[in-house]
Amino acid sequence: MTTKDALHQLIDDLPESALPTAWSLLAPLRPNATANLPRILAEAPWDDEPETPEEALGVKEAYEGLARGEVVSHEELRRELGW
C-alpha cells in the first residue's frame, strides 16, 4: 500500500465530525495552497506588537515606490515565484 493509499484509508476511516479538522490540516499542503490564503489570514491572530522603526521605514518606502509607479503585475510576480 502506498502512502497515498494509506492516507485515503485513514480519511475514509475518520468520523464525519473529524473531517473539518483533517481538511484544515491537509489543505495547506496542496501545491495550490495559496488559494487558502484568505482563510489563513482571517484565522491568523491579530498582531498587537508595536511597529518597529525598521518596519515603519519599510512601509514608508513601499508607499513611496507605489507613488512612483514601481509596481509588479500579478502575472510577473507569479512568474518570478514559479507559480
Mean pLDDT of the chain: 89
User: pTM for this structure?
Assistant: 0.40
Q: What is the mean pLDDT of residues 18-39?
A: 80
Q: How far apart are CA 43 and CA 25, in angstroms?
A: 13
> Which residues, other chains included, contact 1 with Cβ-Cβ below 8 Å and sequence gap of 6+?
9
- What per-residue confidence (pLDDT) applies to 12? 95
Residue 33 has pLDDT above 70, yes or no: no
- What per-residue confidence (pLDDT) applies to 59? 97
Q: Of 31 and 77, which is predicted with more confidence?
A: 77
Tens of pLDDT, residue by residue over 34-65, are 667 787 788 888 888 999 999 999 999 999 99
